[in-house]
Amino acid sequence: MKILKLDESCISNPKSETLRLSNSIFRISDLRCRIRPISKSAALKRLLAVALVLLPLALFGQQGLDPSLLLEAPIDAWPTYHGDYSGRHYSSLNQINASNVKGLSLSWIWRGNFTSGGAIVGGEGTDEFNGPGVVKAIPLMVNGVLYFSTPDNAFAVDARTGRTIWHYFWKTQGGIHIGNRGMGMYGNWLFFETPDNYLVSLDATTGKERWHKMIADVKQEYFSTPAPLVIRNHVIVGMGGDSLDVPGWLESRDPDTGEIQWTWNVTPRPGEPGSETWPDAYSMAHGGGMPWQPPTYDPDVNLLYVPTGNPNPVMAGQSRNGDNLYTASIVALNPDTGKMVWYFQASPHDTHDWDATQVPILFDAV
């Protein structure tokens, strides 16, 4: 058996023809290229070198996320939207500091394809949004791979080279394509939300869709931008939208099946605590308070801290007299049951679209 090597001068020649050797077809740039035999030992060395490069890349996506990383300050990974559960967006890494930051130089540039061309395609719609491809997400970084999303798109990119590993494209039913905050991860499964209000789960290794589930109806002017938060076997999902007077809620989904585990309504229902802060059942049921900011979590006390948005009608309080709980509030929930433990309302009867959707940052006080 002869092992053949094409001369490097072939690569730069734009011509393209086909060469048949034995029963194999080789496509080369020009028949004038020289073909030189190489030894088996040299070929094995080259194959080994290629394997040493490709094997770690293949293993990155297969290892999945070690759940213990979610409980630690981000050093070797950025496994969730906030970096960790605290919301601090802080890492103690110090290799880059004030004295050497000026020496940083460009390593690579990633240019995204935001169309369905060459992508893994899913979705309930038939449309492709033709707006600009703007990345507003905070990428996850797990096992050397960056995972991030934009409206209708999800990507896996090699953090070392900028090479796109896979691209998933969602065909949309519509919705407001204002941006997407990012993804959540559970083991080797990824989760992101779409502008037409679906939660989509992908295989992190291949980018293939596992399932998708509707969060809310796009016809009611909901749109979904949050990065899902994963707490044990709960995928915490919120949404946005105040173009119409519609209710807001937070829900927990099963990461395996996507089925709803619990739902917490931002505005109470008649007879529930807080209902006395609304004039009637109609205003409660249409009161908004969208939880569009990814929440934070304290594992020591097992509490999920949810910031909520403005009440509806937005900037018009005449039809909703009262404090309008639990809009414009920080609410502490049990993530296993969705039951509220306590709340603090920052802006009672908000008529200025102030919200309370700032990140609830957790820290140890002295």
Could you give the CA distance from residue 247 to residue 313 in angstroms, rounded to a whole number? Answer: 11
8-state DSSP, 363: -
Can you give the three-state secondary structure of 282-339, one letter per residue? Answer: HHHHCCECCCCCCCEEECCCCEEEEECCCECCCCCCCCCCCCCCCCCEEEEECCCCCC
Could you give the CA distance from residue 72 to residue 137 in angstroms, rounded to a whole number? Answer: 21
Instruction: Produce one character per residue of 10-32: b if its CB has 16 or more CB atoms within 10 Å, e if not.
Output: beeeeeeeeeeeeeeeeebbeee
Q: Are 260 and 252 in contact (CB under 8 A)?
A: yes
Q: Are 150 and 157 in contact (CB under 8 A)?
A: no
Give which of 152, 183, 144, 120 is closest to 58, Cα–Cα: 144
Among 127, 217, 254, 353, the one annotated catalytic: 353
Beta partners for 184? 191
Instruction: At 42, give phi and psi (nearest 5°).
Output: -65, -40
Give which of 250, 159, 153, 141 is closest to 192, Cα–Cα: 153
Is 245 annotated in the active site? no
SS3 8: helix
Give which of 277, 268, 276, 288 is closest to 322, Cα–Cα: 277
* DSSP per-residue letters across 12-77: T----EEEEETTEEEEES-TTS-EEEE-HHHHHHHHHHHHHHHHHHHHHHHH---GGGGGS-SSS-
Q: Are 292 and 298 in contact (CB under 8 A)?
A: no
Contacts of residues 44-53 at CB distance under 8 Å and 24 or more positions apart, as own/partner, are: none
Active site residues per annotation: 353
